[in-house]
Each structure stands twice: as C-alpha cells, then as structure tokens.
C-alpha cells in the first residue's frame, strides 16, 4: 500500500490521475465527435431512410380505375371491390378440449367452409401446415360474403380487398373494351389503349409503427393513425362512341348468321356516316372478358387486325374513278360476253353470263368482266391513287391496338392483269373497318370521313375524294344493288331506301385460290335520301349449304341491324311510300336471317 506523506504529495498523485482521466475523456469525446460528424455528414440519407422504415409504414392508396361507358352512359367496364380470404395457420385453431367450445368451433368451421365453397375436409387440409402464416383460402369473394365471413370472428382469418375489373356486357363488346391483366393493367382493346388515362395516380398514407417483436420476429403495430396522407387521383372515365344497343344487335345478328351458315367467324362494323363515329364493332366468335381463359384465336378484334381481299366491294370505287374521269356514263354499254373473258393469258369469270349490259348494271349484277373492261380505260396511276384516297393501304386513324394497314402493291409494279383484278378487289387486301370507312365517301357527298372510337376526340377534317355529282350517281347505282335483280335483295330494310355492294371472295390458301372456301361480305349505307349509317359485314368460310355469296350471308345481318338503327335514331322512312305498294310479307321472308 502506498503511503502518502504529505498533502502536496497527495495532490501530485491526483494530478497524474486527473490528467489520465482527462486524456481518456478527451479521446472519447473526440471519437464521439468524429462519429457524430460521420453520421450527420456522410450517412445522413441512409440513416434517415432507415429511421423512416422503422417508424413509418407506407401504404399505397390505390386509385379507382376509370369506367368505360358507351355513348349513352351504359356501363361497359367497371372496377369492383372483391376480397381475398387469408388464413394464418399458426393462429387458426378449430380444436378445443372443452366439448361445448368444440361444438361452437365445429359450427364456425362449417359456416366458414360453406361461405368459401369448400368442404370442411378441404379447409382442414389447407390450414394443416401451422408454419404457413398467410394461406389464400379463396379469392374474388363478393363484399357481402366477406362481411358474413368476418362476422364469424374466427382468429387468424383476415381479408384483403382488391379491385377487379368487371365487364357486365360480356362477349358482344369484348373485342372493343378488351381486358386487364392480373396486375390491373390493360392488356387488350380500349383497356390497353387508354391504360394511362384509366389508371389515375396512386396516393400514399404513412402510419406510425412501433418496434414490437413476437417469437423473435418483428411484428410492428400501427401506433399512430398516420403521419401524412396523399390522396389518390382516380382514373378518368372513357366514353366510347359505341352504342350498346346497336352493338348487341349487330353481335346477335352476326352470331345467328355465322351459326346458320356454319362459318368460321364473322365481323361487323357500323359507322355514323355524319360524324365518323364507330357505333358498333363486333366479332363472332368472341370471348368472355370476365373469364380466365382469355387466350386463343378469337381474342383479336378481327375487324381491325385481319385483312382479306375485298372482292366486289371494290367495284363501285373503280367505277367511280371511271365516272369521275368521264371515261364512262352509267348507261355506257359494256359487253361482258357469254363466256369467260380471256385477258393477258388469264381468264376472268362471272358467276352468270350477262351479255351486253349497261355500266350501272355491271355494279348491280356484280360483273367481274364488266368491271375489268371498264378499268382497262383507266390508268393504273389513277386507279391506285383513288384507292389510296378511299383509305386502302393505310391505317384508318382509329388508333386501335393491333390495327393493320392492309396491303396494296405499288401500281408501278402492276402487270395488266393485276390492274384488272384490282378493279374487282383481288390482289390487294384490307381490313373490314377500312372497307366501312371507304364507303363513307358515298354517304358524305364524296368526302372520306375520319373515324373515331372515343367520344370527344378532336374531330378531323373530311377529305374530298369524289365530286358530289359522281357520288349522287354512285348512290343511285348502289341502291339498285338492293333492288330486284341485284345481288343484295336480302339487305333491304322495310320502309327505307338502302344502298350497298356485296363481295364474294375466294380464300387464298398457300398462294392458290381455294375452290370451296369463300369470304362473303356486304357494305351498305342508308337511308339513301340522307345517308346516316354505313355498315360493313364479313362472314368467313361458310360451309356453303345455305349459300356462300355476300348477299346471302351478310345481307340479312345488314337488314336487321339497320332496321333497328333507323328506328332507334328516329330517321324518316324515305322509302315508305314505295313500300306500301308492295306486299309487306315479302320483305319479312326475304330479309329473314
């Protein structure tokens, strides 16, 4: 033991100690200070983020996806709340030693299983593994069922709300509206095209949480309601130009025609000739957008994605060029002969020999030979330029996902036979919607109408394609096609004057025209006195037992849909006076599907 002799010696010793302590403290402070500077200056962001993560819980507030409506406000697509029922197997317990409690638990289990549409055995099986903390018992549960499940108050059973897209109109509008995927993003149709507008913006809510641990695992609880909140911005509603009534009518008529003729498929497009709005666009077979098997060949909107050779529906366009250039008049005689017409080493045939007929009758009886002979007098340059002006070979501007432009070879590469064949719609292809748009020229005094599917889209200016005089003449000729002796008598509408042109095309298979596979089409408009609607219909590969021509296949579809369109849009019956002189029943028989 050290013996201190004097007071001075005591303090001397103390001073040494004091200095050591001081140095140690200074060193500690220096370290602390350095660490503080390090944390505050260099690790600030990282630490703040970590702190937020520990104290705050960010919750995304999902915006409501916008609705899709038809032109009259009818619902086509809507997001509905559905629930997923989740079980925490570690907590859910349906066993108890007490017989009274056990009976109650059995009752709860049975009720839960019934509401989940499961057997009690299946339910037991699913929650058997006690290590699984989040078992999805059933998804897409309706809100009322979820309430009943939650009222059972079973520990470990919870629900999770999600919004699921619901399409109340099912198949008829499926190709236009499209559908969303599991992630809620649009996959097809308008859902895909307008995804950004429909989605809106997510909101955010931040809750205060604690740092609770259960069984060694961090199980934070919300201890404060929130720190801040950013409200979600709901997606905007999209109003389409589609008229649901006409869409359903077109779908049902098309379905009936496809089934009656045992065809592969059919498509129809109905346009408002005055505004260019698409009133109906449908395909059969279709699919149910609410179902799960949204794959397969019928998922595409074939009216805009599939091309076919337009056939005789091109004849009025070729003929209009000849009229416009004063090459022929409606009464010019054309000798279509009594046998196939040999041209450039190839034969051009008519279904029936017509002999010498007038130019307007070439359209009425749909003579290929007559059309070829008229087109011989038109230069390829003029013919191709007019086809382009009518919209062939380029997209319509409807901006629908998957739309194709069709194909038209450059006229400089046309051989003489190509020129001839083009005049009656072979050697080039187009979509059904292109064909419908082309005929807006005849309905709009010679102007091609830009078409739209979304209500409120900025109107575009129509382009002049034909003179009003030529259009008037063409309308009269097209009207004759639906008169007796024409190819489209089945397209007539009681009380109204309608015009149009049929098309019957042989299908091209591996570069060779099939002898027994056809595409029948019809493009028409009405009422002729003041055309309001243009409709194009295409039926693909009918079995042929009950006819295969465009007039037989598509004419009745046109008649049925147009009759409803005229009625629902209260259009004056411009052909009534003429009709009442005729037998009313005759129409009923002829236009029957």
Partner 1 sequence: MKLNLILFIVLIICALTTVNFKHLTRSNFAKLDEENKKTLELKDQQTMLRIEESSESRIEIIEKVAKQKLNMYIPSLKEKKVIIR
Q: Are 192 and 261 in contact (CB under 8 A)?
A: no
- In DSSP notation, 96-139 reads -SSHHHHHHHHHHHHHHHHHTT--HHHHHHHT--TT-S-EEEEE
Please state the closest distance from residue 184 (CB atom) to partner 1, in A.
15
- Longest Cα–Cα distance of the chain, Å, equals 150
375 phi and psi angles, rounded to 5 deg: -70, -20
Distances (CA, A) of 410 to 307, 310, 388, 417, 562: 18, 17, 11, 14, 36
Nearer to partner 1, 20 or 580 (CB): 580
Q: How far apart are CA 71 and CA 161, in angstroms?
A: 31
Please state the closest distance from residue 226 (CB atom) to partner 1, in A.
6
Nearer to partner 1, 126 or 564 (CB): 564
Q: Which residue is associated with the tokens 């799960």?
A: 292
Across 11-128, the runs of DSSP E, i.e. the strands, are 56-61, 68-69, 75-87
Please state the closest distance from residue 232 (CB atom) to partner 1, in A.
9
Nearer to partner 1, 94 or 226 (CB): 226
Question: Could you list the residues that contact partner 1 (CB under 8 A)?
Answer: 61, 64, 74-75, 78-81, 143, 166, 168, 205, 224-226, 229, 231, 245, 248, 494-495, 576-577, 580, 584-585, 587-588
Minimal CA–CA distance to 358: which of 322, 325, 404?
Answer: 322
Please state the closest distance from residue 530 (CB atom) to partner 1, in A.
17
Please state the closest distance from residue 267 (CB atom) to partner 1, in A.
22
Catalytic one of 79, 267, 312, 423: 312
Nearer to partner 1, 61 or 307 (CB): 61
Q: How far apart are CA 292 and CA 286, in angstroms?
A: 14
Please state the closest distance from residue 224 (CB atom) to partner 1, in A.
8
391 phi and psi angles, rounded to 5 deg: 100, 5
347 phi and psi angles, rounded to 5 deg: -105, 135
Q: How many CA atoms lie within 13 A of 222 on its CB side?
A: 10
Q: Are 574 and 527 in contact (CB under 8 A)?
A: yes
* 99 among known catalytic residues: no
Nearer to partner 1, 26 or 147 (CB): 147
444 phi and psi angles, rounded to 5 deg: -120, 40
Token digits of residue 97: 């030693």
Token digits of residue 218: 């961090």
Nearer to partner 1, 39 or 576 (CB): 576
Please state the closest distance from residue 81 (CB atom) to partner 1, in A.
5
Nearer to partner 1, 64 or 94 (CB): 64
Catalytic residue numbers, as ranges? 312
């Amino acid at each position: 033991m050290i013996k201190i002799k004097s007071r001075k010696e005591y303090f001397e010793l103390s001073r040494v100690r004091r200095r050591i302590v001081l140095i140690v403290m200074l060193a500690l402070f220096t370290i602390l200070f350095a660490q503080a500077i390090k944390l505050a200056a260099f690790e600030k962001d990282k630490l703040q983020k970590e702190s937020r993560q520990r104290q705050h819980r960010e919750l995304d507030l999902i915006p409501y996806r916008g609705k899709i409506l038809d032109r009259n406000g009818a619902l086509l697509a809507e997001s509905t709340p559905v629930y997923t029922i989740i079980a925490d197997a570690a907590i859910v317990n349906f066993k108890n030693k007490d017989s009274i409690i056990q009976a109650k638990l059995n009752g709860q289990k049975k009720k839960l299983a019934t509401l989940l549409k499961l057997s009690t055995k299946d339910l037991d099986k699913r929650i058997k593994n006690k290590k699984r903390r989040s078992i999805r018992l059933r998804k897409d549960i309706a809100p009322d069922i979820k309430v009943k499940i939650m009222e059972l108050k079973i520990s470990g059973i919870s629900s999770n709300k999600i919004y699921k897209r619901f399409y109340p109109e099912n198949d008829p509008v499926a190709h236009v509206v499209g559908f969303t995927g599991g992630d809620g993003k649009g996959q097809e149709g308008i859902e895909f095209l307008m995804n950004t507008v429909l989605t809106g913006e997510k909101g955010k809510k931040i809750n205060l949480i604690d740092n609770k641990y259960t069984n060694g695992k961090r199980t934070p609880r919300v201890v404060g309601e929130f720190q801040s909140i950013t409200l979600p911005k709901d997606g905007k509603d999209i109003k389409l130009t589609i008229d649901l009534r006409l869409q359903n009518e077109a779908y049902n008529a098309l379905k009936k025609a496809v089934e009656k003729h045992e065809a592969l498929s059919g498509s129809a497009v109905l346009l408002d000739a005055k505004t260019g709005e698409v009133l109906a666009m449908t395909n059969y077979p279709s699919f149910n957008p609410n179902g799960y098997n949204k794959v397969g060949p019928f998922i595409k909107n074939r009216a805009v994605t599939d091309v076919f050779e337009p056939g005789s529906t091109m004849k009025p366009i070729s003929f209009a060029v000849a009229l416009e250039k004063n090459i022929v008049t409606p009464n010019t005689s054309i000798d279509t002969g009594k046998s196939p017409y040999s041209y450039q080493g190839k034969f051009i045939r008519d279904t029936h020999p017509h002999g010498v007929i007038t130019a307007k009758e070439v359209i009425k009886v749909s003579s290929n030979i007559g059309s070829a002979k008229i087109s011989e007098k038109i230069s390829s340059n003029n013919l191709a330029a007019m086809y382009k002006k009518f919209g062939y070979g380029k997209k319509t501007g409807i901006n629908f996902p998957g739309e194709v432009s069709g194909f038209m070879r450059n006229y400089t590469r046309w051989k003489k036979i190509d020129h001839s064949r083009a005049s009656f719609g072979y050697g080039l292809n187009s979509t059904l919607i292109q064909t419908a748009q082309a005929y807006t020229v005849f309905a709009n005094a010679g102007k091609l109408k830009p078409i739209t599917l979304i209500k409120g889209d900025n109107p575009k200016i129509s382009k002049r394609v034909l003179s009003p005089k030529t259009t008037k003449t063409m309308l009269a000729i097209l009207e004759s096609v639906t008169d007796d002796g024409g190819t489209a008598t089945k397209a007539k509408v009681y009380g109204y004057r309608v015009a149009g042109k049929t098309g019957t095309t042989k299908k091209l298979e591996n570069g060779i025209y099939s002898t027994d596979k056809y595409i029948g089409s019809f493009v028409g408009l009405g009422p002729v006195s003041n055309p309001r609607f243009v409709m194009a219909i295409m039926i693909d590969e009918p079995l042929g037992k009950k006819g295969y021509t465009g007039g037989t296949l598509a004419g009745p579809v046109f008649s049925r849909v147009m009759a409803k369109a005229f009625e629902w849009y209260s259009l004056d019956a411009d052909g009534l006076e003429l009709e009442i002189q005729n037998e009313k029943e005759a129409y009923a028989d002829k236009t029957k599907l």
